Amino acid sequence: MRKLEIIKNVGSSWFSLGVNVLVGIVLSPLILHRLGNTAYGAWALAFSVTGYYGLFDLGIRSSVIRYVSTYSATNDRPGLERLINTSLALYTVIGGAAMLATLALSAAAGWLFRIPPDFLPTAQILFLMVGGGVALGFPLGLFGGVLEGLGRFYEVNVTNLAAALLRAALVVLALRHGYGLRMVALITVLTPLLASVARAGLALRLLNVRLGWRYAERGALREIGRYSAASFALMVAYKLRFKTDELVISAMLPIAAVTFFSIGDRLVDYTMEVVGSLAQIFVPMSGQSDAKGDAERLRRIFIAGNRACALVVFPITATLIVLGRQIITAWVGASYVSASYPVMLALLIPSTITLSQAASTRILYGMARHRSLAWISSLEAVANVLLSVILIRPLGIFGDALGTAIPLALTGIYFLPRHLCRLLGVRLWTFLREAYTLPVLLVTPTVASLILVTRWFFAHTYWQVGMQILIGLAPYALGLAWAYHSGRLLRVQGTTTSPDAVDAALLQGFQEERR
């Protein structure tokens, strides 16, 4: 992937994400204060529960991205056609199953969750809307994966940007004209579907493949199944790690507590989305390198990619830790700080450890060597749920956050760096030095600057928070400029014991994954 295309993909991802974050910042307090804690809690719960429908994907999307990238690298047009049609057939069946699950969930919402009786009919309709949108999104969403496999992230991002702006405008109009939660939910569901339709048109125009049930093949189904098994295990683990909190809280505490948790959790989600927008490019890059047998390029993606992720996440983490109270105050009000800030802090620190290695997980996906990661993540997910249930009783929503944080930190510290270094034949200490020395050096004066600016004044408005962030991050911007002009930003020194060591490590990793 050429440098200009990388810049275009990452730049468009961040711009689209920035607009989405801005929309979320503006809409969240508007919806919260117009609809109240109970309605907002139900809103968060509905999207959290239907988020589990992503498990119906069965890991198909990740296999689509991987095999589209490898087939395009080897110019295998028949393989692309078989893959797309087989995946589309699978997604059509899955969408029907998701719709049936939605009907059952809506009917059972009254006894599954602690929803006030007078609010139950609205909650049931909300579940139907959101779940129905997810069900339709399965077959339509295939083409976003096709575009990502082709490295056309910027086209995905443009459609996301248009959908976000349209959603924001329609939600504001609906609330100002007195419409309630149902209309807001309908708008939120329909706008992503419109973006998916646009992506389908773009993907079909680029590939010009034939569509139809007769083009789906069992061979392609088996190929998807082999790759998707580990991807599905990772999806289950991800849902248990990050999407069970609202369920645990709503089952054991009043539903309004979900609101306080979701505020702190959402700030961490924004951080994950920023880094994820960068890290997503490493799946097709590593997939193409693996298809061509380019071990040296894989090693460079590993070092430079994780350094890039750290350069992004470290200043965000520093800003949220130092200015988090001011950000929450300006965003939703001071009354939410005491409960939401500790939740954010507990989730943010281990998430930063993992996000600074976001390139590592994408490389495993691109190389189809993610089975070990699936096992470890599954163990982490089980520990997450157990700890959350145990700790929520004595510590409330902060205990639930700790239940997520502790296993996540252990995976990020003890498994990820050692596993990737062994797989790619890179010394652990060399990887840590090469990937993280520069980000740590650049963020250190930034922390001091942020602390000083908070002593200047406490921010209560968006403009004041923005001023603090600009002043606090000025040293980091200067440091990045210096690193870029000196050539240190993405420079990779020699990191392997020998070229043969890389090949041996890759062969050993392949054999382990087969076992």
Whether residue 321 sits in one domain with residue 182: no
User: Angle at the Cα of 365 (from 352 to 314), degrees rounded to 5?
Assistant: 15
What is the reported pLDDT for 37?
Answer: 64
- Confidence band of 318 (pLDDT split at 50, 70, 90): very high
Mean pLDDT on 295-321: 88
Q: Which of 228, 255, 281 is the last residue of a domain?
A: 228
Whether residue 53 sits in one domain with residue 79: yes
Whether residue 248 sits in one domain with residue 221: no
Q: Which of 228, 263, 295 is the last residue of a domain?
A: 228
Whether residue 13 sits in one domain with residue 154: yes
Mean pLDDT on 19-42: 66
For the chain, what is the domain count? 2
What is the reported pLDDT for 515?
Answer: 43
Phi/psi at 496 (5° precision): -105, 160
- Residue 215 to residues 81, 136, 226, 242, 403: CA-CA distances in angstroms? 7, 22, 20, 37, 46
Q: Is residue 88 part of a domain?
A: yes
Taking every pair of Cα atoms in the chain, the longest distance, rounded to a whole number of angstroms, is 69
Give the structural domain span for 448: 244-515
Mean pLDDT on 87-111: 80
Q: Is residue 239 part of a domain?
A: no
Whether residue 190 sits in one domain with residue 309: no
Mean pLDDT on 173-201: 79
Asked if residue 348 has pLDDT above 90, the reply is yes
Whether residue 302 sits in one domain with residue 165: no
Whether residue 211 sits in one domain with residue 282: no
What is the reported pLDDT for 510?
Answer: 40
Mean pLDDT on 103-129: 72
What is the reported pLDDT for 33?
Answer: 65
User: Angle at the Cα of 155 (from 170 to 243), degrees rounded to 5?
Assistant: 65
**Which two structure tokens, joined as six digits, stand for 446?**
């930034």
Asked if residue 505 has pLDDT above 50, the reply is no
Whether residue 205 sits in one domain with residue 283: no
Whether residue 452 sits in one domain with residue 371: yes
Mean pLDDT on 465-491: 83
Decide: 458 and 337 in contact? Cβ < 8 Å.
no
Phi/psi at 426 (5° precision): -110, 135
Mean pLDDT on 419-440: 88
What is the reported pLDDT for 184?
Answer: 75
- Confidence band of 350 (pLDDT split at 50, 70, 90): very high
Q: Which of 228, 257, 276 is the last residue of a domain?
A: 228
Least confident of 53-67, 199-213, 373-387, 468-482: 53-67
Q: What is the DSSP string of 83-132?
A: HHHHHHHHHHHHHHHHHHHHHHHHHHHHHHS---GGGHHHHHHHHHHHHH
Whether residue 486 sits in one domain with residue 347: yes
Mean pLDDT on 406-414: 90
Asked if residue 175 has pLDDT above 80, the reply is no
Asked if residue 86 has pLDDT above 70, the reply is yes
Q: Is residue 181 part of a domain?
A: yes
Of 370, 380, 179, 184, nearest to 283 by C-alpha is 370
Whether residue 10 sits in one domain with residue 49: yes
Q: Is residue 236 part of a domain?
A: no
User: What is the amino acid identity at position 466?
Assistant: G
Asked if residue 127 has pLDDT above 90, the reply is no
Asked if residue 269 has pLDDT above 80, the reply is yes
Q: Is residue 234 part of a domain?
A: no
**Averaged pLDDT of the chain:** 78
What is the reported pLDDT for 91?
Answer: 83
Asked if residue 161 has pLDDT above 50, the reply is yes
What is the reported pLDDT for 1?
Answer: 46
Q: Is residue 290 part of a domain?
A: yes
Mean pLDDT on 476-505: 66
- Confidence band of 234 (pLDDT split at 50, 70, 90): low
**310 or 77, which is more confident?**
310
- Confidence band of 222 (pLDDT split at 50, 70, 90): confident
How far is 295 from 277, CA to CA, in rounded Å?
24
Q: Is residue 235 part of a domain?
A: no
Mean pLDDT on 228-256: 70
Q: Is residue 237 part of a domain?
A: no
Mean pLDDT on 13-37: 66
Whether residue 295 sits in one domain with residue 199: no
Mean pLDDT on 366-382: 80
How far is 251 from 382, CA to CA, in rounded Å?
18
- Confidence band of 141 (pLDDT split at 50, 70, 90): confident
